[in-house]
Amino acid sequence: MRTKPLKGTVALTFDDGPTEIYTPQILAILKKYNIKATFFMVGVNAKNHPDLVRQVLAEGHAVNNHSLTHPMLTKLNNEQLIKEVNMPAVIINNIIGQKPLCLRYPFGASNQHVRDVIRQYGMAPVPMGFNSFDYNRPGTDKIVSWVLKNAYSGQVILMHDGFAKREQTVEALPRIIEGIKKKGLGFSQICAEKTPTTT
């Protein structure tokens, strides 16, 4: 299991889902381009949309943990922290029969204790990678140009399929994929059982 993409590739990652509106649209785009991505799911959303969790896995994408309710993990007491780390892993395991290999901490916020607890529950802590800032909804063109300007071999790209108003992410994704291909880069997954690579 790798937490960094293969050389010559980038990893597309999606946080905060799954959501009924945007996750299926993103899955359809990834399928069209034959790209396998990595999804970091919020536990409550996974619980509310188990069919989408199954679909993400069935289409060859990696399903991982992004906490139960998306709090700042560094501000929680130990009991709250354990719940936020462990409960989504239980929820996801109950839905798809496999535990997440990684937890990406919300807001990119962690400390030694947070990382230790994530490891204690059998997951690797992973940072956010390159922030597309798609959640700020700056406009599709700005998202595309920002990501493409900064795309390079071995980069993990952070985008979002939840919580709300991700139309710009959906619109930007095909152009981002095409632009990355024009740079001569392929795509690989992080935090996956198997690591298919697509070019």
Place of tokens 């462990």: 86
* pLDDT, position 53: 98
Q: Domain spanning 9-198 has what CATH number?
A: 3.20.20.370
Pseudo-torsion of CA 68, 89, 168, 129, nearest 10°? 100
* pLDDT, position 196: 47
Q: Is the pLDDT of residue 199 over 50?
A: no
- Residue 61 appears among annotated catalytic residues: no
Per-residue pLDDT tens over the stretch 9-35 = 999 999 999 999 999 999 999 999 999
Which residues lie closer than 8 Å to 182 by C-beta, 6 or more apart? none
Are 103 and 125 spatial neighbours (Cβ–Cβ below 8 Å)?
yes
Catalytic residue (one of 49, 66, 160, 161): 160
Give this prediction's pTM.
0.96
Catalytic residue (one of 15, 16, 134, 161): 15
Three-state secondary-structure class, residue 40: strand
Q: Is the pLDDT of residue 134 over 60?
A: yes
d(CA 170, CA 161): 8
Are 186 and 198 spatial neighbours (Cβ–Cβ below 8 Å)?
yes
- Residue 116 appears among annotated catalytic residues: no
Per-residue pLDDT tens over the stretch 158-198 = 999 998 899 999 999 999 999 999 999 999 999 998 644 44
Q: Tell me the average pLDDT across 137-146.
A: 98
